[in-house]
Amino acid sequence: MSLQYSCELALPHWLESFVDDWSDPLETTEQRMFLAVSLSAENVLQGTGGPFGAIVVEAETGRLISVGVNLVTTVELSIAHAEMVAISLAQSAINNWNLGHKTDVQLVTSCEPCAMCFGAVPWSGVSSLVWGANKEDAEAAGFDEGDKPVNWVHSLENRGIRTHSDVLREEAAAVLKKYAKKGGAVYHPGQL
């Protein structure tokens, strides 16, 4: 028996031109989060996935390395969260599994990482993590964020990964609320 499987994370058709047309600087944490939240909102508007967006940038310069949006329902892969997509594409772009092998790299995500994405952060090599909406905001929209250690932020910081929460939280949470109000697909095993 020969097992030959593959999977592909095909980005939405609108994403490349959206990023190419982005002219705002990515110098500050707020500017970076604005792009992540804008990606989440556009993903909802275009109907290409869930209300989550993420970017990976060089921490010091703000140079954009990759972007990600939630593709769970589009590509039918439970691992296709915005953070996982952004991390995977960044690793592919630099041709190294360790994003921090040459420079400090920051993951900016429109929502606090779920249990899966939290687990991926230390293994990715990012040096800092920034998020907008929090677990309560995502769960209020119906998402199951999974179980993380109570001291998950402390555990990242103990590994040398700096964290910054609640950046543009209202704007990020508004995307989640709008998605829930429109009846967007809320996907987790308890909601089959």
Task: List, in sequence order, every residue forming a beta bridge with 53; answer none if it has no partner.
Answer: 69
170 is catalytic: no
Distance CA 132, CA 121 (A): 16
Which entry of 27, 76, 83, 112 is annotated as an active-site residue? 83
- How far is C-alpha 169 from the chain's CA centre? 14
Q: Locate tokens 């993590």: which residue? A: 129
Widest pairwise Cα distance in the chain: 53
φ and ψ at residue 57, rounded to 5 degrees: -130, 160
Q: Rounded distance, CA 63 to CA 35, Å?
A: 13
- Residues known to be catalytic: 83
